[in-house]
Every structure is written in structure tokens, then in C-alpha cells.
Structure 1
Amino acid sequence: MTRVLLVDDDAELSAMLSEYLEQEGLSTHAVYDGEAGVREALSGRYDIAVLDVMMPRLNGVEALRQIRAHSRMPVLMLTARGDDIDRILGLELGADDYVPKPCSPRELVARLRAILRRGVVAEVQPAESERLSLGHLQLWPARLAAEWRGQPLSLTGAEFRLLEVLARQAGQVVSKAALSERGLGRPLARFDRSIDVHISSIRQKLGSTADGRAWIQTLRGQGYLLIKD
């Protein structure tokens, strides 16, 4: 059974979400502050964590920073509705996705399963079943491993899947809707900026071409394009 760590100081909300997750077949354990969340996340007992941003003792952003220093376990952030700063910062620190509060349990489960599906697909494939090679870029989808210019490229799970989608269609424009469906495993929501933030992070990690362009180009109103090396 999938094991979910829920970190939120709202005990009533945590109880309601835990009950719903359990009914959906997700074993859930709740803690109520960031310090406890970090300890539990690094215990190795969980498959995924749900982390609220606003918490006492240690907020969710700092908790995520500490988790990412030691672990690549999937993390979904709960953020205040309309608070773009926390969402963007969380994604830049390596959150796999976010859900605005107040959220419906159904949406939370859907987002969790989308993240978990990406991990399961990677696990069931043979470790060296495929290498995607594109000039300076090497991708091993089964291991979520990447190299850029011969050096390991550190990517979150979401960043890897988005880059993989772009690499498979290098030189072609990929719409945000297609990136969301194929890279994040969910339909593109209105006003959802998570893809933009993930792409910005990937751009920074790839650097610039010899003529100073970003390797991933934005075509306004159309989508993104990965330049062929």
C-alpha cells in the first residue's frame, strides 16, 4: 500500500484528508509541524509527502529545503490560494507539484496519483532499457537520470519528465497542455503556472547556447521548443 506523509498544522483538515486518502487505498500518517515533517520524511517509511506551506516552528518551504538536501522523495505542496510566491519558491526548491488550499480531497488524490504514476513507470522498466540521446543531452527515462555536456544533470521528477517530452520532440513546438498531460500526468488547469516555473528551472540548469539563446524557447501562445543541438 502506498504510504503518504501528511504535514499540516490544521488537525481538523488533516483528519478529514487522512480519512479520504485511506478510503482511496493510501495509507496516511499525519504530523502537525515542519520539524516533525522533516524527521518523518527522512525516515524512509513513506512513498510521498504532502507539505503545507504555513506551519509553526518550521514552515513548509524551509522543511522542503531540508528534505531536498537529503532526499528526492516526491513532495506535493499545499499553498494558500493565490499565493504565487510560495508556489514558485516551492517548485524551484524541488516540489513535484502543488495544490491550492482550500483543496478538495478528490483533487489531492488525483495529483498524488499522477506523481506516483510517474515513479511507478520508471520502476517497472529495466534500468538500462532506453537511453535518449540528443547532442549534449543524455536521458535515461527508466532511472530518471540525465547528463548534460558529460556531467550529471540534477533534475526533480517533474523537471525530468517535462524535459523528456521536449527532447522527444526536439525542434518542434510542444503546447503547455501537452506538456501537462504527458509530463505531469494531469490536464492543464487554468492559471496553472507550474510548467512555467519548471521550464525556467530547467533553462537555468542547461545554461545558454553559443550564441546566447536559451536552449528551451518560448513561443508565445503556442508552447515551448527545445533547440536541437
Structure 2
Amino acid sequence: MARILLADDDASLLDVLTLAFEEAGHATQTARDGATALALIRKERPEAAVCDVNMPGLDGFSLCRRLREQGDLVPLILLTSRDSEIDETLGLDLGADDYIAKPFSMRVLLARVSSLLRREAARQKAEAAPAPIASGPLELSPERLDVLFHGRPIVATVTEFRLLEALVRRPGVVLSRARLLALVRGDDTVVIDRIVDTYVRRLRRKLEQVEPGFDRIETVVGAGYRFRGYGG
């Protein structure tokens, strides 16, 4: 369920929109003019807004312009009774995400709002994704479990990736096999800690295929392993 702001000076259409969106499982707020819509967007932070262009006081174009000038990226669909290519271009140039001319299919409007919500969720997820971890030519992407070394992809299993990540995140720190297993597995499962040696051998072999003589993963006899970061 998403919170949707509906803004239109046509009370009957606003009632129809409210019913349709609530039947689709959304929570709605309504406004009869642009100024009220702008205030509600700022205060209530809806997840999307559907606004008529021809509203009194502050029209849909001006509302869109103010939001975008202030850096507000709330997904916004403009509705208009003027089926004009010029109007559509203006609305999109101002930063509207979509534009629908009246009369319109309610099913189409709901589908376009759902598409915007999915796109916004994906954008927020991407922004919240862990930043890549870099050490010299080695780059790890925790969100995608990708390893790049000297710009070349390294195929690593999930366990190998987590092991390499644990080491690279702590350059110079000696990590025991038991500690590495705890960081990699994230549970208390009892396994032979010497399995870490196998994972390290595999990682070294894969990295050596790109950089012969790779020696950044060091064995500390009797203690465990550490990563010697580039530049250190």
C-alpha cells in the first residue's frame, strides 16, 4: 500500500479517483487546489502525487516547477483536459514523471502510478545499496557480490566473496580462522575452521590469474590471515 496525493478542483472526479485508488489498496489524501497540494506534499511526504494541471491559485505546472526547484523528487503525474503536445512537453520538461490527458482510463492511470512506485523503490534501493569497497585495483560490490580486479571480473562463490570482503574491510588486521568463519557464515554452525585455508587458496588462485604473484592475502602462522592493503 502506498500513500497517494490526489489533487483536482473537480470534486466529482476527485471522489472517483479516491475510490479507485483506495480500492486498489492505496491510502489517499486529497486537495482541491495547487497550494494545498504543495503544502500536503511538503508535510505528509506521499509516495506519489496525481495532480490536475488546471487548478486555481497554483496550477499543476507551477506546482511541479516549485517541487523540482526545491529538489523534491516525489513521483508526479499531471492530468489535463488539454490534449496538447506542447502542454505535454512543458510538463515533462518541468520534471513531471508522466502526463495523462482527460478523459483517461482509470486502469491506465493506476498502472502508471504503480510503475512509478516501482521505479522509485528501485531508485531508493540503489541509493541505499552499500558502497563498493575498494583497495587499489580491487573492488568489491556487496550488493551484487561482484569482484573486479584490475577492471576484470573475478568469479567468486558467496562464501569466497564474504571471506575476501571480511579481509579487505580490515586491512592489516589479523583474523583467526574462527573469526573469519563467523564473519563469513554469520551463524554459530560448527565446522572445521581449516576449511578457511581452502577458501583462501581458491581466492589466491583466482586473483593470481589476473595479477601473477598476487600476495596481498598473507598467512600469519599460528594466527590466521590478514589483507595487506594497496599502499600499505
TM, length-normalised to structure 2? 0.53
Gapped runs of 5+ residues in structure 1?
A: 132-141, 143-229
Deviations 1:85-112 (A, max 9, x none): 2211110010011111111211110000
Gapped runs of 5+ residues in structure 2?
A: 133-142, 144-232
Aligned partners of 2:65, 2:110: CA distance in 1, in Å? 24
Deviations 1:153-204 (A, max 9, x none): xxxxxxxxxxxxxxxxxxxxxxxxxxxxxxxxxxxxxxxxxxxxxxxxxxxx
- After superposition, where does 1:4-153 map in structure 2 within 5 Å? 4-70=4-70, 71-125=72-126, 127-128=128-129
Post-superposition shift, 1:18?
Answer: 0.6
Post-superposition shift, 1:2?
Answer: 0.4
Aligned partners of 2:84, 2:127: CA distance in 1, in Å? 41
SS of the residue 1:29 aligns to: strand
Change in Cα spacing, 1:93 to 1:14, as seen in structure 2 (3 Å) is same
- Are the aligned partners of 1:79 and 1:87 in contact in 2 as well (CA < 8 Å)? no
Deviations 1:10-35 (A, max 9, x none): 01001001101000011111110111
Post-superposition shift, 1:72?
Answer: 1.0
Amino acid at match of 1:123: Q
Aligned partners of 1:13, 1:121: CA distance in 2, in Å? 31
For the aligned residue pairs, the C-alpha RMSD in angstroms reads 2.0
Post-superposition shift, 1:69?
Answer: 2.0
Aligned partners of 2:53, 2:127: CA distance in 1, in Å? 37
Amino acid at match of 2:60: G
- Are the aligned partners of 2:38 and 2:63 in contact in 1 as well (CA < 8 Å)? yes
SS of the residue 1:42 aligns to: helix
- Are the aligned partners of 1:4 and 1:28 in contact in 2 as well (CA < 8 Å)? yes
- Are the aligned partners of 1:61 and 1:86 in contact in 2 as well (CA < 8 Å)? no
TM, length-normalised to structure 1? 0.53
- Are the aligned partners of 2:14 and 2:30 in contact in 1 as well (CA < 8 Å)? yes
Post-superposition shift, 1:124?
Answer: 3.7
Change in Cα spacing, 1:111 to 1:130, as seen in structure 2 (3 Å) is farther
Post-superposition shift, 1:126?
Answer: 7.0
- Are the aligned partners of 1:53 and 1:86 in contact in 2 as well (CA < 8 Å)? no
Match of 2:224 in 1: none
Post-superposition shift, 1:119?
Answer: 1.3
Corresponding residue pairs, total: 132
Aligned partners of 1:111, 1:128: CA distance in 2, in Å? 26
